[in-house]
Structure 1
Amino acid sequence: MFIYGILLSGVNNAVKLFGLCSVYIWALFIISKYIIHNRPELTQPINKLEEIPKLSTDADLRNLPLIFIGGHQSSGTGLLRVLLDVHPMVRCGPEPIVTRKILKLRPNNRNGQDRLSQSGVTQSVLDNAIAGFIVSILKNMGPPADRLCHKDPSSYIYLRYLSELFPKAKFIHAVRDGRGAIMSTIMYV
């Protein structure tokens, strides 16, 4: 493409570029028709729901052997995630930032709990929903693995709650010398 860009230098660059792009689009169209004609299995719909194994109960969901990595920002949690991700039985995908917001849903004050229970949402229902959401996010962020890993430094604020949600989970707290963590934060943020 770079060679064509050099050849297109001149007065009518836009016209030449349009013509070149139309040739590429035409070629892709012909190739795609050929592939679909010769490979009919590619036209069959893919049922994504069959790929995800269904768990029988909420207790199964909450007893998964998850790994949670946390600690102060720039304390080495990213390096630890990469090291665990190398293991064939562990998958630590990218940082799932949406779980941080879902963990905030747990009402800490008495008024919030009363309002939820009046509407029929008990604490156990809310806990099962939050646990299901976290597991669903972790499962769908990459290929299946025996152990799923959640790396989010700020989720360590909710350590006690996470240990209630997932009693079989393992927690890794990354600790670094405060001077190095602050210097790293200043340099990379």
Structure 2
Amino acid sequence: MGIQFRTLRHVPFTLVTTLLLITATIPSRAQVSGGERIFENLRMGLFSPPTVTLRGVSGGAIPLRGFVERDSTDTGLCAGFIDTQPDHLLTLDQFFDFLSLEILSPEDTTLLVQGPGGSWCNDDYAGQNPAILGAWLPGTYQIWVGSYRQDRYHPYLLRISRDPDAPDLRESETDQLPNN
């Protein structure tokens, strides 16, 4: 006794259409209630926009310092708490002479980036907001946005810019944060 397969010509057209519509409406990323996407990944190359802003929610239970097994990197302190999985993946198709990752949050956040060439941490680059700036190799980077205090979760904006003259993120932009 074997499994029998039927062809689609025996399935009513409305059933196939309904299944396709249901599948097409399932979001591929987490969304906040206003429909804004959070925890997105990004690929950047020569023709990418010079500045991109992503959204997310910081925090976790794992000490960042223990996760990277060091107290600091050349870019700053490894402080705060993160989740096991990165919040974002950033894939760079080419070398960037300058790239900045800046966080804006109403609460104290921290930043960890792991990718080609190593790991980089930062805490309190601008007030309570972290950032990492410099030259970046091509490849995929994992980005964690942590909270300074364990099991505290805060909305944030992550601005990734290849423009060294881009203005800093401003506190007035916190109205763009999810769940704010």
Normalised by the length of structure 2, the TM-score is 0.24
Higher-strand-fraction structure = 2
Specify which structure has the bigger relative contact order, considering alpha-carbon pairs within 8 angstroms and separated by 6 or more residues. Answer: 1
Higher-helix-fraction structure = 1
Larger Rg: 1
